[in-house]
Structure 1
């Protein structure tokens, strides 16, 4: 059910002809009640028209929103003044069809950059999507926002606030151009809890920081990345100071599930790898090193080749721009629920069996642990391998 799991949310999806394949490419998610909204956007300086539009709408108001239009197959990025004008045209039409003011409609887009948005196709699609809105439309909406994704990404969390059941639902897309600080990914989260705008923004930012900001597939940031949450209060339970930690835990857990799903479905990915750095002076320094390792092409191709070439990992760590003592560091690799295998011990190769190291690299998911032995700082990044298929997908993305 994803985004339609919380009370008061409906969704629909149609194929309006943006994708040449004829696949679903237009999703509409609407609420029966006005919503408070919060969002985190791409940090890329080149921002798509829908990102600029949403930022402007949320700067103007953070409550009263009723729907989100999401198209795939066209990013509406680098399209000049016409791109922004097209967003206004789409949201005005959606508002008219739904019976809501245009400034209560938000929009997201994903797909090819530099191509004008086919507004006529979207107009025809919206005319079919509005009457099709239903509580059963969540999965179809999750499929409609996919580009190179191989499967829809959905998650639901249920909790009780002050004795009242509350639900959080979410859907995301993303497989390539994935890197911390938002990268090609869209995520829409809904909840039937009542939350004021400032608290909702703080909750979302905290959840994003340990989920979507912890993933990298290829080190590229997109023009369109958006994580948005809508809260309509339909459950009749308010998130107050006392219940905020409980809601934060559920929201963070949902975001982490969606973020992991994006990495696991990375373009051409065959491995899910957690890079964990500990013993740094600060968590920030640990994160810098983990990210540098996670985006190294040499490291990622070694993951793909199932080659436990730990020298590449150490070399990437040393190039991260964070000072440390090479003679103090240690490195392990680990399968889930198994004892870590020590590969490098305080500046020197450890004794281990190569077959055992290769067995760990052959797993579909494993962990790399680097200890700098300098302090208490620790952080992690989730990444994947870099395969032949990734090159094929991106070498022919527009064809």
Structure 2
């Protein structure tokens, strides 16, 4: 059960002018479940994307990179769940290309204008026949009266789930230059999450007018403040993809500088959507019972703060201690010590667990009592604050605990 996160409601999700969505049951891995989703994007939209840094990138990731490098306007995206089409060699690449070609033919656009995405089991052949057979139903759904509705965003969030227990979707509206601008997004992910770029799959769209030259930088900026700061288990997926679409239908003046004071409201809305989705992934982490914020401050730079934060957040010993509400907090200090800061001065380390000062100047605080640590660790949401005493840099990572269910879910993943 997700930690302090409940399923979004259709009425809370807003349509984005210029985007239509269709979802179908194609039986890609299991019958009677939504598993094929298409996004139809109006001409003139701008797109930015970032992808996994895993060198074993899935076939659809490779094809998306090819298509985006061709400089074509993206007109559609197609997403299947149940099969990652990763570790599938040349046949996998062929199937990803054929998926894009089929949708392009149906829409009368170039195949480079279609981006394919997959998620699910690695190293199994993509059942292309099922994907192609399900596409007409997805397109018909996108062409229905509800194709552009908020309800379709919720269906899409459901249609890209794998081990997720709940769909992840959110919308925001903001004023930009006197125009109402909408931002809506969905994501999926619950395990194999330490994306190092984005999330397993994330799609955010806005009707704002944003210059094409800014879109890749915007996608990177959003990822760095959200999806790049979460981890469930430290594994980087082969299929991680994060896409931002701007349709331009809101009619605001063209955003040509993301640091312009007049567009900070838009940037804040986009960031809020991305962070909400990233947090939802951690809250719905496989078997998670606790949502943990690891805040590291006093670093020489943000890079070393992240090294420490991820060392703590990835440690199975730390994560299992949080699951058990066991204040065995020396495990946190050990993770700080092996994080990779060669000249770290342990006598300057400070550690707070919620409102409890645990470590002062590298040693146990004289006033620290284990029952205070346990009190904090029993909560569903926990703040771990680490001071390095080296400078003024700070950064934050969000993670979850490891429970018995994490092992069960992954042991049974393919059954």
The verdict on a shared fold, with TM-score over 0.5 as the criterion, is yes
Say if 2:86 is the partner of 1:77: yes
What is the alpha-carbon distance in structure 1 between the residues aligned to residue 14 and residue 46 of structure 2?
A: 16
Distance in 1 of aligned mates of 2:173 and 2:225: 20
For the structure 1 residues 389 and 21, does the alpha-carbon distance in structure 2 shift closer, same or farther, using more than 3 Å as the test?
A: farther
Q: Distance in 2 between matches of 1:374 and 1:230?
A: 40
CA drift of 1:135 comes to 1.6
Alignment partners' CA distance in 1, 2:61 and 2:299: 36
Paired residues of 2:296 and 2:305 also in contact (CA < 8 A): yes
- Corresponding residue to 1:274 among 293, 310, 333: 293
When residues 177 and 216 of structure 1 are mapped into structure 2, their CA distance, relative to the original with a 3 A threshold, is same
Shift of 1:356: 2.3
1:353 is matched with: 369
Task: Name the counterpart of 1:371.
Answer: 387
Normalised TM-score (structure 1): 0.95
CA separation in 1, counterparts of 2:163 and 2:373? 32
Equivalent residue for 2:255? 239
| Corresponding residue number in structure 1 for 2:27 | 17
3 and 34 in structure 1: CA distance in 2 versus 1, 3 angstrom threshold = farther
Equivalence for 1:114: 123
In the alignment, structure 2 segments of 5+ residues that lack a partner are 1-9
Q: What is the match of residue 169 of structure 2?
A: 154
Aligned equivalent of 1:337 = none
Q: Which residue among 343, 361, 377 is the counterpart of 2:358?
A: 343
Match of 2:312 in 1: 293
Query: What's the RMSD between the two structures over aligned residues?
Result: 1.5
How far does residue 212 in structure 1 lie from its aligned partner after superposition? 0.5
Structure 1 portions without partners, runs of 5+ = 335-339
Moved over 4 A (4+): 1-4
Q: Distance in 1 between matches of 2:264 and 2:215?
A: 12
SS at match of 1:175: coil
Q: Within 2, Cα distance between the matches of 1:7 and 1:395?
A: 42
8 A contact 2:24–2:141 mirrored in 1: no
**What's the CA shift for 1:18?**
1.1
1:172-211 alpha-carbon deviations (Å, 9 max, x no partner): 0000010141376100111111212221211221111111
How many residues in Structure 1 have an aligned counterpart in Structure 2?
A: 393
Q: Deviations over 1:96-151 (max 9, x none)?
A: 22233222111110000111111111111111111111023111111010000000
Q: By how many angstroms is 1:355 displaced?
A: 2.2
2:225 to 194, 201, 210: 210
What secondary structure, in the 3-state scheme, does the structure 2 residue paired with 1:269 have?
A: coil
SS in 2 for 1:177: coil
Equivalent-residue separation in structure 2 for 1:142 and 1:46 (angstroms): 26
Output aligned runs, 1:161-310, within 5 Å.
Answer: 161-182=176-197, 185-237=200-252, 238-241=254-257, 242=260, 243-310=262-329
In structure 2, the residue matched to 1:394 is 410
Deviations 1:146-185 (A, max 9, x none): 0000001011121111111111111000000101413761
Contact kept, 8 Å, 2:195 with 2:240, in 1: the verdict is no
**Partner residue, 1:123:** 132
Helix, strand or coil: the match of 2:44?
A: strand
- Is the counterpart of residue 52 in structure 1 residue 62 in structure 2? yes
